[in-house]
Each structure stands twice: as structure tokens, then as C-alpha cells.
Amino acid sequence: MEIEELKAMTVADVLKTDEWKKHLEGVIHKLELMRMKALEQARKADSKPIRMPIDHFIENDLLTADKVTEMYLAVLEKRSDMPAIQRMFIMELGMAAFNETMRDFVKDHPELKKK
């Protein structure tokens, strides 16, 4: 990607890229694995796991790249009606994927890196 094209991109433009989707799917996968591990540890300890925000998204089949992208954009644009804890979860998830995506875009342009 050319530097001028990169500088002109908006957040919405970034969310339409294949790189965004790849990084978002990676972040989602890591979170799902962490949650499964926590649930397994609770089961082994014969205790009830603490309910976490991710559980709502898993149970309602909302933890897909396309659905998370829609929710992330809605949260960024302040048009989401989700509870605050869920908005915070989506925001953190989206920011992690966004930062990884931008890191990939910037790596070929050392002049854009912070000094």
C-alpha cells in the first residue's frame, strides 16, 4: 500500500480491508481459546465459572468477524445500544485488531513509525 493511500484511510476504510478481517479473526480466536481454557479449569476445580462479557457474544453467535466489525463501528460512531460492559468488550477487541492491522500497514513505511 502506498503511503499517500495509507494516510488518507479512515477507520471505516481500514475495517473494510482483508488485513483487518485477518487480525480480527485472530483476536477472536485467541479470546475463544482463553475462555475455553478458563471454563475447563473451572470444571476441573468443580466450581462454577464466573460469567464474562464474551459469554453473551458466544451464546448468541455474535463473535464472527463480520458481526464484530458492525458492532465495533456502531460503538465508535456512538450508535450502539448495547450495555456499557459489552460496548467496552467490543471496543477492546476492535482496538486490538485495529492496532495489529495498522502495525502491518506501517511496517513497510519506516517514516510513519513513531520516533
Cα radius of gyration rounded to whole Å, the chain: 17
- In sequence order, the 6+-apart residues with CB closer than 8 A to the CB of 1 are 105, 108
Give the C-alpha separation, 87 to 109, whole Å.
33
**Residue 115 in this model has a pLDDT that exceeds 70:** no
**Cα–Cα distance list, 29 to 12, 16, 22, 26, 97 (Å):** 22, 19, 11, 5, 12
pLDDT digits (tens, 9 = 90+) for 2-25: 888 888 899 999 999 999 999 999
pLDDT digits (tens, 9 = 90+) for 26-82: 999 999 999 999 999 999 999 998 899 999 999 999 999 999 999 999 999 999 999
- In sequence order, the 6+-apart residues with CB closer than 8 A to the CB of 48 are 42
Contact 98, 76 (CB under 8 A): no
Give the C-alpha separation, 32 to 20, whole Å.
18
Q: What is the pLDDT of residue 90?
A: 97
